[in-house]
Structure 1
Amino acid sequence: MSRSGADLALLLLGGFRSLVDEATAELARRGHQDVRPVHDFAMRAIAAGADDATRLGRRLSVSKQAAAKTVAVLRERGYVTREADPLDGRRKRLQVTDLGFEVLRQGEEVFDELRERWARRIGSAELERMETHLTTLAGASPVRFDTPAWMARDLGEPS
């Protein structure tokens, strides 16, 4: 039976969603019940230089207000802090805390475990072939950690 292009897109999205949902559940079992995918995106963006709500909003393609709400949650949970900028004492910079980096590290570990689980289900060689095909079709560079941005971008603008 031949599938449609839309079916392919939904299967790929379903695979992504399955991995993310399983990773979120595993992080909860490891004591991080409060971590959501957007928190991972935000902490990675902050670690890469989005050190205030405006920059974070741009990186995630959300409003400054939405970014500020995410920052408030991350600060409340101890994943990020706001510290004085050493070059401008009036400015506060966002920083990922040791706990935030630990959650990111554990998340990466969980995804490696999930990949191994998939390899056991379909075979390592088959998983590697699938990854090779996806690399050929989607490109060698994985989607950036600010994945929400691709949904909001104007297709007429270069990314």
Structure 2
Amino acid sequence: MSRSGADLALLLLGGFRTLVDSATAELASRGYEDVRPVHDFAMRSIAAGADTASELGRRLTITKQSAARTIAVLQERGWVATGPDPRDARRKRLEVTPLGFEIMRTGEAIFERLRDDWAAKIGEAELAALEQHLVALAGPQPVRFDSPGWLAQDLG
């Protein structure tokens, strides 16, 4: 049975959504009820050097105001803090806290387990082939982890 291009896009999105929803639910069951994908994208961006609201907004392709709201949520939850800037004593820079890094590591471990679950369902060779095909079609890194753009709208 042949599918349309739109069906392919929806299947790929469905696979992504299945993984993300499963990871979010498992994080919640481990006590991290408030984690959303945009929070992970933001913390990864901050850890990679986006240490201001302006820079975070650029990396997430959202407005500075949206970045500031995201930062406020992350700070409220204790996942991000501000610290002194070693280059400019008047400036504060964003830093991921140990709790924020713990959440990111926990999420990574959950995604590894979810990948193993998929391998158990279709076979490791089939999953490896799927991954190779996706790399061939979308490139080795089709989406930067710190540039979700349209995903960043979920600030919840």
TM-score tier by shorter-chain length is: over 0.9
Which of structures 1 and 2 has the larger relative contact order (alpha carbons within 8 angstroms, sep 6+)?
Answer: 2
Ranges in structure 1 where 5+ consecutive residues have no aligned partner? 153-159
Unaligned runs of 5+ in 2: none
Q: TM-score, normalised by structure 2?
A: 0.93
TM-score between both structures, scaled by the size of structure 1: 0.91
> When the two structures are aligned, how many residues end up with a matched partner?
152
- AA aligned opposite 1:16: F
Specify the alignment match of 1:75 in structure 2: 75
Once the two structures are superposed, residues 83-117 of structure 1 have per-residue CA deviations (whole angstroms, 9 ceiling, x without a partner) of 12122111110000011001000000000000000
Q: What does residue range 72-151 of structure 1 map to in structure 2 within 5 Å?
A: 72-149=72-149
Aligned partners of 2:142, 2:29: CA distance in 1, in Å? 27
Q: Percent identity?
A: 68
Alpha-carbon distance between aligned partners in 2 of 1:116 and 1:91, rounded to the nearest angstrom: 44
What is the alpha-carbon root mean square deviation over aligned residues? 1.5
Counterpart CA distance in 2 for 1:28 and 1:88 is 38
Detail structure 1 runs of 4+ shifted over 3 Å in the superposition. Answer: 149-152
Partner of 2:58: 58
Give the deviation of 1:147 after TM superposition: 3.4
User: Which string of whole-angstrom CA distances, capped at 9 and with x for unpartnered residues, describes residues 119-144 of structure 1?
Assistant: 11111111111111111111122421
The whole-number CA distance in structure 2 between the counterparts of 1:127 and 1:86 is 46
